[in-house]
Amino acid sequence: MRADVVSLTERLVSVDTAPGCATRAFVHDLAAQLRADGAHVGVQAGSLDGLAQGNLVARFGGDGEAGLVLAGHLDTVPWNASQRATITPERDARRLYGRGTCDMKGALAAQWEAVVERADKLRRPVLLAWTWGEEVGCHGAKALTAEPELLGPIQEAVALVGEPTDLRAITAHKGYLILRIELHGEPAHSSDPWAGVDASVGLAILLRDLHELRESLRREGEEHGDARHQPPGTTLNTGLVQAGSARNIVPERAELIVELRPVAEQDGAELRRRVDACVELACASVPGLRATLHEVEDNPAFAQPHEHRLVQWLQERLGSPPGAVPFYTEAELYRRGFHLPVVVCGPGSIANAHRVDESVSFDELAAGQALYGDALEAFCG
């Protein structure tokens, strides 16, 4: 007899997939279980920091043109033993506590149970596409979209990404761009600051101008932004700042991490030029100062047009209009990489994700399973 969706979530949670953990052995174990359930399964090997990782693609219903892709990620955020949310799941008053219960192993269990429940009734194939490394840069999704042939025929399919949205249909979120800016000066003894090239002076100027840019982006968002987002425009944050090596040395080096969350309408190249202009002005203001700028991460904003049948079906099924979320997902990577209509919709609330007491309710898991089951009937039945 198969486990219910709560028990299956417990099984998935009991395997540690936080940053610093390998996932490939876990993926091969899941592949064996899915094959036993009747799926044709492929594993795409990957690695990060010397650790073996893996994506999983499970196809039910044959090798024809698929109707639905149910997507999600296997990894979680970190945890420690002092928290309630660990890899030892705990049931309490119809809630399940544990790392990944909400984000997003509960959704994976709901997808799996929904597919197996209807596998013998499919008229078109359905795929489960589960990735590694979403929480640390969407590495698995980027690898999977680089080899779309691993999914087989999906030109006519639609996709649901099971992030926790309270089962709201999400068709938009901002992008995620990370830049590392390094300023290079010349050291000198602090008793004669003018003998060196002080990178911290350039840093101060750069911070001032970047924060002026942030205010400009805010005004532009208030005037022309997308009201579904709060705030409605592109945001900029200078979250990590450091300079110097010792208190008695003129700083020869400074570093700044800039995080940008652009709306879909934002011209990425123009935004980058505006940051570059701030860097150039800082260098021009401090003779001898040089700068290097590195793109650490560049993930596009998500914007799914509402005209597609998937969005309309979800609006009718859920009884509410589509919306936006403030967090990043793999959705736009799939929309662009696989050329599919994509909506983010999954059980659980983001308010319960990433917490020391992360949890999901039994009813949320059951509702997620029911939604995915109805999607199977609509697009694969």
129 and 202 assigned to the same domain:
no
Give the three-state DSSP class for 159.
strand
Cβ count within 10 A of residue 238? 16
143 and 272 assigned to the same domain:
no
Task: For helices 5-13 and 362-380, give the axis angle rounded to 10 degrees.
Answer: 110
306 and 294 assigned to the same domain:
no
Burial 287-305 (b: 16+ CB within 10 A, else e): eebebeeeeeeebbbbbbe
Strand-pairing partners, residue 249, are 189
pLDDT per residue, tens digit, the chain (381 aa), is 457 999 999 999 999 999 999 999 999 999 999 999 999 999 999 999 999 999 999 999 999 999 999 999 999 999 999 999 999 999 999 999 999 999 999 999 999 999 999 999 999 999 999 999 999 999 999 999 999 999 999 999 999 999 999 999 999 999 999 999 999 999 999 999 999 999 999 999 999 999 999 999 999 999 998 899 999 999 999 999 999 999 999 999 999 999 999 999 998 889 999 999 999 999 999 999 999 999 999 999 999 999 999 999 999 999 999 999 999 999 999 999 999 999 999 999 999 999 999 999 999 999 999 999 999 999 998
Which stretches of the chain are assigned E, i.e. beta strand? 40-48, 51-60, 68-73, 90-92, 95-97, 126-131, 158-161, 170-173, 176-184, 235-243, 253-261, 290-299, 302-303, 323-324, 342-344, 359-361
127 and 259 assigned to the same domain:
no
d(CA 355, CA 162): 18
136 and 156 assigned to the same domain:
yes
251 and 107 assigned to the same domain:
no
187 and 319 assigned to the same domain:
no
29 and 152 assigned to the same domain:
yes
Structural domain span for residue 200: 175-299
9 and 156 assigned to the same domain:
yes
161 and 74 assigned to the same domain:
yes
**Number of domains, the chain:** 2
Residue 375 tokens read as 């999607």
φ/ψ (deg, to 5) at 64: -80, -170
